[in-house]
Amino acid sequence: MSNSALVEDFIRQWEAKSIDGILQRMTPDVRYMNVGMSEAVGHDAVREGLAPFLSMSSRIEWTIHHIAETADGVVLTERTDVFEIGDKTISVPVMGVFELKDGLIRGWRDYFDLPGFQAQMA
């Protein structure tokens, strides 16, 4: 399976709101950062950061507009991430970078408009 296909599978875990599925696709020492926010290192820190967000979302849908894989296997995604939280639908344009090792995500950075996200959440 290509690294791009592995990232697409990872995204399906988000849409299923499966924290265990998300973590199973990451190395134990994964480094995850929503740029502009604190970095989470390792499964426990990622779980702590993501689980509350997953549980408050009634629906999650990530649409990939473009996906590319570099010669060394880094996957780049241009996406729109949509979250239904309470009576709000939050839509976030995102550029994601996924570094993989042995079929697992070892580094993940998402670049997005944090103030725009926060305004939608208010």
Q: What is the pLDDT of residues 57-92, one digit of tens each?
A: 999 999 999 999 999 989 999 999 999 999 999 999
Cβ atoms within 10 Å of 22's Cβ, excluding its own: 23
pLDDT of residue 19: 97
- List beta partners, residue 34: 110
Give the SS3 label for residue 73: coil
pLDDT of residue 37: 86
Q: Supply the CATH classification number for the domain 3-121.
A: 3.10.450.50
Catalytic residue among 29, 44, 110, 113: 110
Mean pLDDT over 98-112 rounds to 97
> Which pLDDT band holds residue 121 (cuts at 50, 70, 90)?
confident
pTM flag (> 0.75):
yes
Torsion sign (Cα): 65, 67, 68, 74: positive
pLDDT of residue 83: 95
Q: Is 81 a catalytic residue?
A: yes
Whether the pLDDT of residue 118 is over 90: the answer is: no
* 22-32 pLDDT per residue, tens: 999 999 999 99
Q: Which residue has the tokens 């590319």?
A: 68
Whether the pLDDT of residue 114 is over 90: the answer is: no
Q: Alpha-carbon distance 118 to 122, whole Å? A: 6
Catalytic residue among 29, 81, 87, 102: 81
